[in-house]
């Protein structure tokens, strides 16, 4: 609570909440929420958990060169990680699942973190693809949506970042010896001597975590799996939409999915408060959905995305007898 990063994230969330609420008539908002048919959340949540299982399979696939761990063993750890992202700041869930994977399967944290970073890069590329597929339609909407109006420029910058990161990781994976030589030169030149041995060990294991990217077939498989994951999540958006009194195309929901998930990379309070909601409402209002309905839908969707995975992750964490305490945070990286 005392760290400046937490308070910065909280301030950013407050700003985005203000963006979400300005001009909103609360009576109309509550009316939209009360009239919703929440039975549609059931198939939406079911589809979402299919996507979580596919995420666990993708992680299993990325880790195969290090250790072949069954997907059924990866699923609880995956849910714990997403629970951690939802309730702890700074996406601590990513480190949490790497630590738990080390405890349960003996996979070095630095190697599993490499696979987790690869997941996030592919997720970012797919999100940007969702945005770019809909750019022609988005261009027709920006005049009526001030918040979304800058998304085209943001998508271009984001593409440079994610595609640049992807190329860097692919090159590091395909040329591990050259990458290690460059890494050693940097370590011995810029890292104090007392830390060099540890950093070299971490770098070696991190590169081991990229081994799955050495095969073009594996890269294609991870990309296709990532696309399938996010199409399933868009399916949840579609099911939840039917609980409310509006209708937009599946492609519009793909665009919303891409924009809100790219926005959640902005530092915020735990649970992506505000950074998920403001752009989601803005996209829907750009499509002509009234603000109260857009806000009710986006809030309901946010809760439906946050609550089930958080409860399941907390259950698995309790079942393992784990707590996010100093002993877990200070787990030694080998």
pLDDT score at 75: 97
Which pLDDT belongs to residue 322?
A: 74
Q: What is the pLDDT of residue 139?
A: 67
pLDDT for 333 equals 47
Structure tokens at 320: 């393992």
- Predicted pLDDT at 134: 79
pTM of the model: 0.89
Sign of the Cα torsion 13, 14, 20, 25 reads positive
Q: What is the mean pLDDT of each run of 10 residues along the chain (334 residues)?
A: 70 87 87 95 97 97 94 96 88 90 91 93 90 74 52 69 86 90 90 87 88 91 96 97 94 91 85 90 89 95 96 92 64 51
- Can you give the pLDDT at residue 1? 47
Per-residue confidence (pLDDT) for residue 332, from 0 to 100: 47
- Give dist(CA 87, CA 91) in Å, integer: 9
pLDDT at 2: 52
Please state, as a whole number, how many other Cβ atoms lie within 10 Å of the Cβ of residue 56.
22
Cβ burial, residue 8 (10 Å; 0-12/13-18/19+): middle
For residue range 236-279, what is the model confidence (pLDDT) as tens digits?
A: 999 999 999 899 999 999 999 998 988 888 888 888 999 999 98
Per-residue pLDDT, 324: 63
d(Cα 68, Cα 9) in Å, to the nearest integer?
37
């Amino acid at each position: 609570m005392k760290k400046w990063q937490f308070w910065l994230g909280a301030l950013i969330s407050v700003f985005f909440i203000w963006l979400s609420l300005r001009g909103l008539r609360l009576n109309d908002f509550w009316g939209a929420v009360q009239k919703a048919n929440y039975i549609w959340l059931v198939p939406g949540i079911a589809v979402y958990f299919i996507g979580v299982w596919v995420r666990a399979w993708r992680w299993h696939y990325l880790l195969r060169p290090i250790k072949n761990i069954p997907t059924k063993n990866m699923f609880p750890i995956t849910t714990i990680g997403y629970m951690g992202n939802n309730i702890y700041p700074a996406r601590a869930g990513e480190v949490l699942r790497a630590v738990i994977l080390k405890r349960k399967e003996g996979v070095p944290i630095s190697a599993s973190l490499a696979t987790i970073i690869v997941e996030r890069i592919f997720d970012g590329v797919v999100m940007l693809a969702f945005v770019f597929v809909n750019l022609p339609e988005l261009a027709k909407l920006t005049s009526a949506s001030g918040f979304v109006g800058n998304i085209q420029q943001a998508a271009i910058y984001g593409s440079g970042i994610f595609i640049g990161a992807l190329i860097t990781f692919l090159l590091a994976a395909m040329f591990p010896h050259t990458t290690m030589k460059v890494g050693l030169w940097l370590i011995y030149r810029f890292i104090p001597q007392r830390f060099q041995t540890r950093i070299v060990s971490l770098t070696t294991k991190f590169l081991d975590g990229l081994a799955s990217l050495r095969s073009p077939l594996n890269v294609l498989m991870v990309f296709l799996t990532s696309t399938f994951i996010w199409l399933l999540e868009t399916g949840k958006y579609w099911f939840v939409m039917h609980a409310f009194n509006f209708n937009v195309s599946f492609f519009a929901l793909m665009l919303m999915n891409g924009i809100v998930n790219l926005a959640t990379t902005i530092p915020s309070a735990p649970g992506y408060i505000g950074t998920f909601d403001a752009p989601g409402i803005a996209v829907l209002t750009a499509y002509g959905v009234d603000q109260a309905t857009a806000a009710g839908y986006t809030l309901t969707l946010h809760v439906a995305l946050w609550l089930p995975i958080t409860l399941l992750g907390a259950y698995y964490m309790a079942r393992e007898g784990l707590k996010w305490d100093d002993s877990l945070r200070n787990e030694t990286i080998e």
